[in-house]
Structure 1
């Protein structure tokens, strides 16, 4: 390799190395995915809120990674608890809705902050949330409280916002705790309510701005507003953080998810896998190699006979074919019925008819034709066809 080629090669290698370094060291793009997960530190995660909830309860903050039906169906009601549900939409199945209503009816509380809400429980509370797409859908809006003493904790959300509000509430039971309004204060909509449920002091606290509880807003001067909203919750209750109804929930898609989530099945799987590995190590070397399949020689007698017959037929040698068919047929009689074929007497015809299950008339007709053909030297195609048909008719009744 000459000097010029080496310089070109080294230059290309240096460029590739520089590109790799630039790719590895370049800053990662900011992830703006809606998550609301307690484990996510991205702007729209809830890592900050989750770790700031401890002052709200004297007991350890609990987390639920199951559906509401699984988590609440056998819930311990000895101590009142507040369940916190925060996501861009809350869609709860019928069984979960029933479990949630029973949970609140027993004196517990539920805090929900969402842009959309679906489920039987929402219909039971007569709650609907919508967005003003023709108005200030993503325009700056100010979230305020009904209590004027909390005016200092009101905040203007000028970005990362979707202005959702209540379009339906049960005015006979619900208490309005907060509103949102545009910058010109020309439009005001309800965005925070409390709805009691049951006779044991349980209640739903429903809020329509989940963005207010994300890392982005809590770290940008909106923490006082979020804290004020949460201050309406019963302070003596334990807190249960939902980590299941989340857009950013980590879902294991492996087919072994169910097996590995069950301790008994998990250890069975591991032991079976270990046993299989041991079997392969110790048994694999002792196993004989696969014996190749040797196909048996093909019997081509029928094809050969057919080819020879076609050859005779194409040359028009009908006499030779007739002679051979008669010879083979008489051999068939001797081998199958143990009869002598030297003389075609009436006794021979009767015995052959009985043993072959043919009528005496059909047997006599065939023997007469054979006798006639044997007496001739030259034969025609028509005689060959007639002989073949009678032999086939005679042998088809053979048992």
Structure 2
């Protein structure tokens, strides 16, 4: 690699490192996505509200992380609870609608705050929800309550792009608890200003004969962290004050910000720390590939350790003696080996091979006296012979193997 190439490579590496440092140290951008999750601390999450609900009831807040059908089927029929559904939109399938209707019909309550309602159970309440989109020109919408004593808690929600409200309700079973006031520009005559329109945005609907109610609210933004921490918490507290004082169930499944991890790579890239660890690993891999070619060492051959050839050597020597017919030498070495084995294994003196030695050897070797006497007598016999043959060697080997087999 030439000098110019090295300078260019180092320059690129420095630029990459500076870019990474700038990216890590720059302030994190505010995440304005809709979430409504109890775990999210972003502006449109519900972390503040969920933690404040602990003071609402003496009982613990229950949390549902599965579909309404799966969760409500395990709720006891004699329990009295209130289910909270807060999200930008709420869509209920046929099974969920039936489960929710049965849940309220048993005397429980459901609070739904959303810009959009979908589902058979919502349709059965004879309500119609409409929304007004102000386009690029954000406007304010004032949410208030029908009770004069609660007017002090009405709030102006500024910079509203979409405002939802009820244009049709069932007056026989529905009580209007709150309204929203919209300021609409008079497009035809801008000189005359605009008109003030007021619609219901918080209603209470009786359902069934056991004291169950649906509470429908069309401004879920009021319960987000952004509004709870910007002097609008009184409005949210007043809305929730209309609910029965009983145990609450927080739905954390039907949320726009529900965590859905579909692949390991997506999980890594959605976590800031893991994402940068992944990028650093990729950079390290690139640098490794670049520099590896210059630093690759020649393969060192593997040298096998020296083998212990003592056994093979002994076998070869023995074969030479046997092939040359030197049976006497082989027999003498086998007798010497056997007596050495007796001394080291049984700690017996082998200078005198008498009856006393035979008795001790039989006892320590777990052989019978007859077997022990037979091999000792045969060894004495071989020592006394001048000429030894192949049969003597074979017989001695058999007796030694038979004697040592019991060890």
- Place the TM-score, normalised by the shorter chain, in its bin: 0.5 to 0.7
TM-fit CA distance, 1:123: 1.2
TM-fit CA distance, 1:143: 0.3
205-214 vs 126-135, which moves further: 126-135
Distance 1:101 1:5, change over 3 A: closer
Q: Extract unaligned runs of 5+ from structure 2.
A: 184-193, 265-407
1:104 aligns with 2:104: yes
TM-fit CA distance, 1:167: 2.0
TM-score normalized with structure 2 length:
0.58
218-227 vs 71-80, which moves further: 71-80
TM-fit CA distance, 1:201: 1.1
C-alpha contact 1:107 1:200 (8 A) present in aligned 2:
yes
Equivalent runs, 1:309-320 vs 2, <5 Å: none
Partner Cα distance (1:177, 1:52) in 2: 22
Q: 1:209 aligned to 208, 211, 219, which one?
A: 219
TM-score normalized with structure 1 length:
0.59
Counterpart position of 2:252: 243
TM-fit CA distance, 1:154: 0.6
1:166 aligns with 2:166: yes
SS at match of 1:27: coil
After TM superposition, what 4+ stretches of structure 1 lie above 6 angstroms from structure 2? 1-9, 134-137
Counterpart position of 1:341: none
Give CA-to-partner distance per residue, 1:200-222, whole Å, 9 cap, x none: 11100100000111111111111
* Count of matched residue positions in the alignment of Structure 1 and Structure 2: 254
1:67 aligns with 2:76: no
1:199 aligns with 2:204: no
92-101 vs 184-193, which moves further: 184-193
Partner Cα distance (2:30, 2:134) in 1: 29
Cα RMSD (Å) of the superposition? 2.5
C-alpha contact 1:87 1:210 (8 A) present in aligned 2:
yes
SS at match of 2:227: helix
TM-fit CA distance, 1:138: 4.5
Partner Cα distance (1:163, 1:240) in 2: 27
SS at match of 1:246: coil
TM-fit CA distance, 1:13: 4.4
Counterpart position of 1:132: 132
TM-fit CA distance, 1:15: 3.5
Counterpart position of 2:143: 143
Partner Cα distance (2:110, 2:153) in 1: 23
1:221 aligns with 2:231: yes
Distance 1:140 1:160, change over 3 A: closer
Counterpart position of 2:39: 39
SS at match of 1:225: helix
Distance 1:138 1:202, change over 3 A: farther
Counterpart position of 1:57: 57
Counterpart position of 2:307: none
Give CA-to-partner distance per residue, 1:77-127, whole Å, 9 cap, x none: 333000000011111011111111111111100000000101010111112
TM-fit CA distance, 1:35: 0.9
TM-fit CA distance, 1:192: 0.3
Counterpart position of 1:81: 81
Equivalent runs, 1:183-332 vs 2, <5 Å: 183=183, 186-235=196-245, 237-253=246-262
Partner Cα distance (1:9, 1:111) in 2: 62
C-alpha contact 2:85 2:113 (8 A) present in aligned 1:
yes
Distance 1:254 1:109, change over 3 A: same
Q: Extract unaligned runs of 5+ from structure 1.
A: 256-399
TM-fit CA distance, 1:132: 2.0
TM-fit CA distance, 1:164: 0.4
C-alpha contact 1:131 1:137 (8 A) present in aligned 2:
no
Partner Cα distance (1:148, 1:137) in 2: 31
- Whose strand fraction is larger, Structure 1's or Structure 2's? 2
TM-fit CA distance, 1:5: 8.2
TM-fit CA distance, 1:136: 10
